[in-house]
Amino acid sequence: MSRCRTFRYLLQPTGRQRGGVEHLLGAQCELYSAAVEARRGAWAWERRSVTFFSQSAELTELRALRPQVLACGVTVCRGTLKRLDRAFGLSCGHQAQADVNAAENILRAGRARRELAPVKA
């Protein structure tokens, strides 16, 4: 069994970079939430599974409707959908639980960011 080495880096973005990171996080949170909802809805209503490939194909349609979600590039969005697919694909195991925990943390961060955002009048 091979081991994977991980590294941690402290990010200290400038004000402009922080805005970009927050935009990226917000867009990916929105994409992840919409993809989860699509999978749950398809299963609840039609007993149909939604795959990574079908959701990746929908990214081209999303580009016309919501270009700000794909402003960071399609590769970033596919990575988000791939993590979601891995979380849904593994019914048990450490990696599935880690991905579910990561998804919950991302969603919590997005909610906290919206709650702390100043109200624009």
Mean of the per-residue pLDDT values of the chain: 81
The full DSSP string for 34-92 is HHHHHHHHHHHHH-----HHHHHHHHHHHHHH-TTTTTT-HHHHHHHHHHHHHHHH-SS
* The total number of structural domains that make up the chain: 1
Contact 88, 101 (CB under 8 A): no
pLDDT tens profile 10-51: 888 899 999 998 999 999 999 999 999 999 999 899 988 889
**What is the spatial distance between Cα 20 and Cα 3, in angstroms, rounded to a whole number?**
33
Model pTM?
0.67
- Which of 7, 27, 9, 8 has the alpha carbon at shortest distance from 19? 27
Residue 92: predicted pLDDT: 40
Residue 70 domain-assigned? yes
Residue 8 domain-assigned? no
Cα diameter, the chain? 57
Residue 46 domain-assigned? yes
- Domain extent for 84: 18-115
pLDDT tens profile 54-66: 999 999 888 888 8
